[in-house]
Amino acid sequence: MKVSLKNIIVPSIPLAVILVASCFAIWVSSYFGGRFGNLPADNSLFVNYLQTFLAPNSLFSNIGSVAFALLNAFLIAQINNRFTIIKTRTFLPIFIFLLLVSSWNETHIINGSHISLTLFILSVFYTLNTYRDRKASEMAFMSSLLIGIASIIINPLIFLIPVFWFGLMILQSFSLRTFLATLFGLIAPWILYFTGLFLLHQEVGFTPLIATSFSLDFGSLSLSLPGIIYTCCFALILIITLFGMFSITNSDAIRTRNNLNFFILLIVAISILSIIFRNQLVLFLPIIAFLYAILVSYSFTLKMNNFYGILFIVLVSINILYVISKYIFI
């Protein structure tokens, strides 16, 4: 029996609504039950302030997260269409992203991570727009400015700036001009941030604040058995789809290949950051979901065979089973 994803890749409007509604149903189920796992112990001042009027796991907190998740899904569709990352129309990046953030119920109660993802997607958008333009200082400035603002929410994101420099090299737009533009873009929001803190809270000690924001955690990560199985399957599917991607990218335009290489570089960098700053792992999950959805959707969309059709079913199944496991295992 042939497994075809054609109807999901380009769904009718009713089917697209059903797919989004099914993700929303998974999200709602986690609001009424399930285990949320380990939440970050060290939050930025912005996240702590946000939680003063959006209490974790409250109805308003979940509504806010859903709204930003839908906004980010829309931005994912726009970035894919604008830069033709996948050379055909596809709904899969949207569906896979919503499936992941719905299944990872830890992310539902941290609105700051979804706001950071919005800024991150816009930053990637500006970076991709610099392609082969070594004078694109405005685009480079805006890209790093958005990362700078996002790093105020999730402090370790500031270490992504060198990754974006490598990205500019991949996109053949790195120059002294764009390099300086990224530095100024990164510094600007942090100057305003520290100035505001000093004016409003002159008693704040900046050295302890910085030390707390960038505290490392190399301790062991405690995962339940379902969590370990899920993580291994999740990573294995990514590796398999990347091999599938490399087998067919020769037919793509050079710009598309460069864009894909940039996305691979980003997901590797985010994964390393999430390991180094393990105490803030949950905050990185929406960004991982975005990059993962783009990369795996490439092979699922363009390699129309039974193997990738079954692999897609496996991806959906393990997420559903992972959600169910949170109601069963302690």
pLDDT of residue 193: 84
Residue 1 counted as domain residue: no
pLDDT tens per residue across span 240-295? 999 999 988 888 889 999 999 999 999 999 999 988 888 788 889 999 999 999 99
Tell me what the pLDDT averaged over the chain comes to. 85
Higher pLDDT, 206 or 88: 88
Residue 3 counted as domain residue: no
pLDDT tens per residue across span 165-199? 999 999 999 999 999 999 999 999 998 888 877 77
Query: Does position 328 have pLDDT exceeding 80, yes or no?
Result: no
Residue 298 counted as domain residue: yes
Residue 156 counted as domain residue: yes
Residue 4 counted as domain residue: no
Residue 6 counted as domain residue: no
Query: Does position 219 have pLDDT exceeding 60, yes or no?
Result: no
Into how many domains does the chain fold? 1
pLDDT of residue 170: 95
Query: Does position 234 have pLDDT exceeding 60, yes or no?
Result: yes
pTM here? 0.91
Residue 5 counted as domain residue: no
Residue 148 counted as domain residue: yes
Query: What domain range includes position 157?
Result: 11-328
pLDDT tens per residue across span 132-159? 999 999 999 999 999 999 998 888 999 9
Owner of token pair 């969590």: 227
